[in-house]
Structures are given as C-alpha cells and as structure tokens.
Amino acid sequence: MSSKTGGQEAALRRLQVDVLDSSMSYLEAGTSGPTVLFLHGNPTSSYIWRNIIPHVAPFGRCIAPDLIGYGQS
C-alpha cells in the first residue's frame, strides 16, 4: 500500500504484533523524527487515517493501530 504526496511516495506498511492472546494489526509509515500515534474511534479502524498519514510521514514515524476487535486485529 502506498500513497503519493507532493512528488514523494510514502509507503504504508501493514504489520502485526502479538498482544496477550490476540494479534494486533497496525499501519506504519515514516522512519525518523517524533512518533505520531493515530487512534481510531468506535466502530472504525486504521483505514480512516489512510489519506492523512502520507502527509505526516515525511515529518515523523506514524503508527495507526487497529484496536483489538476492529479492522484487521
């Protein structure tokens, strides 16, 4: 999954981490700078941040989790 912003391409990576007895999925983009955490509400998922993250990723690391029971978690 990738998105173009101002001639730059920001790759959105879908990753997973084990949390207790569940697997939590999250989107990640960017590599340096401050970490920005994007949290979704009820009943949405990290999908709502797909158009925002590419604009923020050049300035820091972006993480958008799918809370357990939502999205791909």
pLDDT digits (tens, 9 = 90+) for 3-23: 444 444 468 999 999 999 999
CB proximity list for 32: less than 8 A, separation 6 or greater: 60, 61
pLDDT greater than 90 at residue 31: no
Please report the pLDDT score of residue 6 as a whole number. Answer: 45
Please report the pLDDT score of residue 7 as a whole number. Answer: 40
**Average pLDDT, stretch 46-62?**
96
- What's the predicted TM-score (pTM) here? 0.82
Please report the pLDDT score of residue 4 as a whole number. Answer: 47
Please report the pLDDT score of residue 11 as a whole number. Answer: 87
Distances (CA, A) of 33 to 24, 51, 61, 66, 68: 24, 20, 6, 23, 27
